[in-house]
Chain A
Amino acid sequence: MRKKKVFLIRYAAAIVLLIIAAVQFGLVKTLHISPWKGGGFGMFSTVGSQNSYFIRVYTNSPSGEKIRIFIPEKLGAEEQEIFYLPVRNNFIKFKKDVLKEKWVIGNNKIIELDSVDTCCSNQYKPITIIDVTIELWQYKFNINTSKVYSTLLSEY
């Protein structure tokens, strides 16, 4: 009994650390979370921090053309949730949030109604969006070519 108590006193904190770090390792390998996050002490080990993630959202125009939807700042928090944990639930939640907004189309891009400058409102017309494709991208750096490049991680 006393041995067990001494063991816990001395090693409980380290055991919790090891468990969390092992779980984080698994999540990085299976769910594409950044090694910087999740308690595994992978910060400063890769260009692939959560800041290297970004999304592109597309819909089809009435003529069938793929058009990018520019996400307004007010959906930034929901967008960030995908970067931190790119799982199906977060994609679905974000998709619902996107579809709730009012959108306008013009200059071959779709933006949120409130983002339109009053000066240019006549260049845009309302559009009803019924479905979107969300692509999760990440930029990486190739030291051999000195180029930063983007790569598609998943889409929903």
Chain B
Amino acid sequence: MMKNSFFNKINIKQLVLTITLLFFLMNSSKDVYIQLPVSIICLAALIFPDFKLLKITWLCLILIFSIGNTFHYFELDNHKFLYIYWCIAIFACLFSDNFENDLKINAKLLIGFVFAFASLWKIISGDYLNNSFFVFTSITDGRIAGFFGLLHLLSKETIMQNRNAVNYLVNESQPPYQIGLLYTSGIYRIAQFLTYFGLLIEIIISVLFLLPDKISVTKYRDYALIVFLFFTYLVAPVWEFGSILSIIGLAQTDSKKKSAIYVLLFLIMQIYRIHIGRFLFL
């Protein structure tokens, strides 16, 4: 009873804007010329609540992120692009007579297209569907290999050996043009599962978020996204991507209960920043 009244009192608009500002305050950029102005704007908007409803606040964030990131456009991680799209969505919706409804539309489209492109690249890349990507990553990347170590599928020595083999290929003066890597059939089977599960869930999320609400299957979209966020970013070392997706997920849901789950996921993402896989690898 108490729980329900607590969730019902939450103003989703205020909550989404507050969490977005908090997230940008903590993690806008490593570049001081972006970090400093973004932090000042976010702090001002968090201290003076009316400030977060001003169009100029979000326009400034769009400009700082866009101009600041232009200098290293091709080095940017994909979630940095999503920050800009999300600021554009909020800025645009501040012109709306129905902020919450229009922000929901924006959020669904952003999530739908992000997952559509992620799926498309996996299908056309040439080395994802044949398991190459997951096998290679599992046996050379310590952040992910830690989980396999936990399952006794891969020793630390084997991972180091594989890494050294790749370094040898890159650094030697008269290099060999190919060199073998070591892994077990257990690793291959898990990589195969991750390959197809990863692609399937991304396609499902993309379809569920891009389909119109009137189609009944879309009522499962939150479940798909929540499962994806919880498990993917436990392993994938990009908690920032998980954080911004949790915020956008929060903005598009109609259910107060699911809103609470998205907030919880946002908090969990802050734990994922320690890269649990690497911790297990140590």
A joins B in a complex: yes
Residues on A lying within 8 angstroms of B by beta carbon are 5-6, 8-14, 16-18, 20-21, 33, 35-48, 50, 54, 68, 80, 84-85, 108-109, 137, 139-143, 145-150
B93 → chain A closest CB, angstroms: 6
Are A47 and B133 within 8 A (Cβ)?
A: yes
Are A42 and B88 within 8 A (Cβ)?
A: no
Are A42 and B109 within 8 A (Cβ)?
A: no
User: Assuming the A-B contacts A43-B238, A146-B181, are A21 and B113 also in contact, with contact meaning beta carbons closer than 8 angstroms in the complex?
Assistant: yes
Q: Chain B residues near A108 (CB, 8 Å)?
A: 173
Q: Which of B178, B182, B236 gathers the greatest number of chain A CB atoms within 10 Å?
A: B178
Are B133 and A45 within 8 A (Cβ)?
A: yes
In the assembled complex, the Cα of A13 lies from the Cα of B74 at a distance in Å of 20
Are B74 and A10 within 8 A (Cβ)?
A: no
- The residue that B132 contacts in the complex, of A33, A43, A47, with Cβ under 8 A, is A47
Q: Chain B residues near A140 (CB, 8 Å)?
A: 127, 132
B92: interface (CB < 8 Å): yes
B80 → chain A closest CB, angstroms: 8
Q: Chain A residues near B170 (CB, 8 Å)?
A: 54, 137, 139, 150
In the assembled complex, the Cα of A82 lies from the Cα of B276 at a distance in Å of 32
Of the four ranges (under 10, 10 to 19, 20 to 34, 35 or more), the interface on chain B belongs to: 35 or more
Q: Chain A residues near B92 (CB, 8 Å)?
A: 8-10, 12-13
Contact with A along B102-123 (1 / 0, CB 8 A): 1001100110011001100110
Are A147 and B181 within 8 A (Cβ)?
A: yes
User: Assuming the A-B contacts A46-B128, A149-B177, are A10 and B75 also in contact, with contact meaning beta carbons closer than 8 angstroms in the complex?
Assistant: no
A77 → chain B closest CB, angstroms: 10
Q: Chain B residues near A148 (CB, 8 Å)?
A: 136, 165-166, 169, 178-181
Are A38 and B109 within 8 A (Cβ)?
A: no
In the assembled complex, the Cα of A45 lies from the Cα of B147 at a distance in Å of 20
Are A43 and B77 within 8 A (Cβ)?
A: yes
A-B pairs with beta carbons under 8 Å apart, 18 shown: A6-B96, A9-B92, A9-B93, A9-B95, A10-B106, A12-B89, A13-B92, A37-B74, A40-B78, A44-B137, A85-B74, A142-B132, A145-B178, A147-B181, A148-B169, A148-B179, A148-B181, A149-B169
Q: Chain A residues near B136 (CB, 8 Å)?
A: 47, 141, 148
In the assembled complex, the Cα of A45 lies from the Cα of B118 at a distance in Å of 7
In the assembled complex, the Cα of A80 lies from the Cα of B74 at a distance in Å of 11
In the assembled complex, the Cα of A49 lies from the Cα of B252 at a distance in Å of 32
Are A149 and B133 within 8 A (Cβ)?
A: no
B164 → chain A closest CB, angstroms: 12
B73: interface (CB < 8 Å): yes
The 7 closest A-B pairs by CB, nearest first: A42-B121, A149-B178, A45-B121, A13-B89, A14-B109, A46-B125, A39-B81
Contact with A along B238-277 (1 / 0, CB 8 A): 1000000000000000000000000000000000000000
Q: A16-B88, A17-B85, A40-B117 are in contact. List 19 more A-B contacts (CB 8 A).
A: A9-B92, A9-B102, A38-B76, A41-B117, A41-B118, A41-B121, A43-B118, A50-B75, A54-B170, A109-B173, A140-B127, A141-B135, A141-B136, A142-B178, A143-B132, A146-B180, A149-B177, A149-B179, A150-B178
User: Assuming the A-B contacts A39-B78, A141-B136, A150-B175, are A48 and B117 also in contact, with contact meaning beta carbons closer than 8 angstroms in the complex?
Assistant: no
Q: Chain B residues near A147 (CB, 8 Å)?
A: 178-181
User: Assuming the A-B contacts A40-B117, A143-B131, A146-B180, are A13 and B173 also in contact, with contact meaning beta carbons closer than 8 angstroms in the complex?
Assistant: no
In the assembled complex, the Cα of A143 lies from the Cα of B180 at a distance in Å of 10
Nearest CB to that of B172 among chain A residues? A68
